A and B are shown apart, each in its own frame.
Chain A
């Protein structure tokens, strides 16, 4: 049934193991490399979070992986720091964009590869080295840094005088972040060039799948945001090693020692960090939004409700994402007048977010919902995004921030909206695209079991966390015994810890399903979900040039499901009008 406008010679695949699987320039191999890097990182990140959750409830128990057996406050602060860093950078940025974006953006627009395949390979390997640097922070003298994933100066800028881990560990952290920024910048360039230049004939911007819109806008955010963090990281490194004072003011005294700095501003670091840090939230979630729209439409056999509004909402979120960073700094000492501006801009970002939510509901409404694992995770994404997003309306208001800033309420908010929701996007994408990537189907029963435990578990972990926060529970505390009123919140902490262990254990089902299906899953056909976008027009897995030399042309929008008058309930993008006429 496919028809192809133009044929090209098929390039030869590399034959050596190293050129095929290690230093490959094939975007599909690089996508899988990014995905496996994220899978490794998320395993480390989850173990760190379980150690923290355990320690919060049973502080004097002996723990594995903890030197000395019983966790010290500085080790706890290191875990907080490294959990956040690994999850935000090496999981939430790496899997949705580097992994799935790399693999599917070129195929979905009908391109043979990324615009710059060698640059693509370079961005992965730079990211890989960045990850090694981050992990190395655990093993250097003094251990991992303890200044949080936000690395606020001057705690992060003065060296080991401010605490263990602030020597070598913090330097490794800065190197890791700087390298990651470099890799992400190269990747962003590539994504933008590819989307603009390599679209198939007929693939206009408003015929692009919403996944491509998500990756494209994410790449633009990455290009504008990572450069700023890279600059901030270099300045911080100079403060630490070259005696400059970008972030350190005069008169700092630590352990009776006057520090040799003057003229710097701690708020400068926060502005640079959050100018990156807030768009980063959208870098993590926009690809998930794209995937959720794509998968909801496929499994309820309906076009995405309000496709154009959805694409424009992605752009609006991307734009507004750059003018709200100050809402992280309401109580930082920044001018209280600017808090108004940042507050109003932040409340505005709720508008395109709400548009997306209503359109997802509109997509489901009147559909013919097929509860595949991918679909369940996409529906879960919508629910979690709503729950996590709405609490943002509290934190967007400086007056309410007087109560909630730096409490567990904030932790609950961002974990639901950019952590768990984004991870649900990744899971949905994995169950959806696994057949295309590896040529085999995942087990749907195990996938559903994984969904139920993870969905209920995620709510059991993060919903009670709001109540801890409203009552005044402060985040990043190694031990609640320092403050009297925190004792009353311990039962909630116990419940969250138990939920975390159950949910963590359920991820083993996913790991098993993933690797078992890789070897033993039933063979996948070209288009197992009867879907409409270009990745389903080629073999599973696709050949080196994606289309065996027969590059598709595009004749219609990406979500033509259940069009009246048609025999089938889907019309692929690549089907010529003549063939469609014959199908009636």
Chain B
């Protein structure tokens, strides 16, 4: 047995590896800050909360990321084989205690701080005057149903579902509440009014996602899942499906039109006439 001779090329390898790590850190930080790859500004107050929590998480993880990657780069460069014996140590309980406590506080603290943004999207009850729209997903379209002038949704019967004859949701013609229901392929809502979506699916699992709302929710067959939001910016936004639902998953999309209160009234009148 003999002590290993100093390995040739070790300084070059150490320098290169440190450089690669430093470059990786710099590029990563640069591109995470690049506005080209940020989602567009949120159009709800809750969306802003989600962004705040995202930013907070980004700062915490970026700190840990930069320190540990640069620490690794430094260790690799400083402690390359220089022909001297390694410094013998089995560990250090104080250090273990310190970094364990620090990560518990940092990570759990982050999780606890993030609770409010989630509670606000899922736990608050909708306002009594929220406009209800039923969202029905199926392979590979969304249908949006408004209750019409009577404010009531008509009964549905899966046996009556027939997109080819103009009844994609299976509204029961015998139920008077369903006579004035409005069914559309896009979602139009007034600005600054609370909207409650009742999300369902006819076949497999789909998802309703609008990145500007910072909101996604699966549409699960057999379940009716309510979520609500208040959009504060007029405009058109894309609704996409994020749950693999079959061969047409990639083209399953629709639009969310946020319009002024006056335009919304006009939209409802036009639709009532059209039905």
Contact = CB atoms under 8 A, between A and B. Distances in A.
Interface stretch (A15-23, A127-135, A232-240, A365-373): A365-373
B250 interface: yes
A403 B107 contact: no
Contacts of A398: 114, 118, 122
A154 B111 contact: no
A339 B252 CA distance: 27
A60 B81 CA distance: 52
A162 B69 CA distance: 46
Contacts of A147: 244
A300 B86 contact: yes
B128 interface: no
A365 B220 contact: no
Contacts of A80: 244
A332 B218 contact: yes
Interface size bracket, A side:
35 or more
Given A162-B204, A250-B222, A309 B96 contact: yes
Nearest to A559: B90
Contact of A77 (B14, B205, B217, B249): B249
Contacts of B138: 253-254
A477 interface: yes
Size bracket of the B interface: 35 or more
Given A254-B139, A394-B54, A152 B222 contact: no
Interface stretch (A3-11, A423-431, A434-442, A562-570): A562-570
A393 B17 contact: no
Nearest to A81: B244
A371 B111 contact: no
Interface in B178-196: none
Interface string B92-121: 100110011001100110111011111001
A155 B205 contact: yes
A350 B65 CA distance: 13
Nearest to B123: A336
A285 to B, nearest CB: 17
A435 to B, nearest CB: 15
Contacts of B16: 452
B129 interface: no
Given A253-B161, A300-B79, A398-B118, A364 B108 contact: no
Interface string B204-227: 110101010011111011110100
Interface string B1-14: 11110010110011
Interface stretch (B24-32, B143-151, B262-270): B24-32
B88 A562 contact: yes
A309 B217 CA distance: 40
A368 B242 contact: no
A83 interface: no
Contacts, number: 361
Instruction: Tell which of A343, A383, A488 has the most Cβ of chain B within 10 Å.
Output: A383
Nearest to B199: A333
B125 interface: no
A362 B111 CA distance: 27
Given A305-B91, A478-B250, A251 B75 contact: no
A370 to B, nearest CB: 5
Given A1-B1, A402-B121, A403-B211, A343 B80 contact: no
Interface stretch (A175-183, A272-280, A384-392): A384-392
Contact of A399 (B4, B50, B103, B217): B50
Interface in A74-105: 74, 77, 80
B14 A339 contact: no
A452 B108 CA distance: 36
Contacts of A386: 64-65, 68-69, 72
B221 A393 contact: no
Contacts of A477: 249-250
A470 B31 CA distance: 11
Contacts of B81: 368-371
Contacts of A492: 37
B253 interface: yes
Interface of A: 1, 72-74, 77, 80, 146-148, 152, 154-155, 158, 162-164, 248-254, 256, 258, 264-267, 300-303, 305-309, 331-333, 336-337, 339-340, 343-344, 346-348, 350-351, 354-355, 357-359, 361-362, 364-371, 376, 379, 382-383, 386-387, 390-391, 393-394, 396-403, 405-407, 448, 452, 455-456, 459, 463-464, 466-468, 470-472, 474-485, 488-489, 492, 530, 561-564, 568-569
11 contacts: A73-B248, A148-B244, A155-B204, A163-B247, A164-B247, A265-B222, A307-B90, A336-B122, A459-B24, A470-B39, A485-B238
Given A266-B221, A387-B28, A400-B50, 7 more contacts: A74-B247, A146-B244, A155-B244, A253-B158, A366-B86, A370-B81, A403-B216
Interface of B: 1-4, 7, 9-10, 13-14, 16-17, 20-21, 24, 27-28, 31-32, 34, 36-39, 49-50, 53-54, 57-58, 60-61, 64-65, 68-69, 71-72, 75-76, 79-82, 84-92, 95-96, 99-100, 103-104, 107-108, 110-112, 114-118, 121-123, 138-139, 158-159, 161-164, 170, 202-205, 207, 209, 211, 214-218, 220-223, 225, 238, 240-253
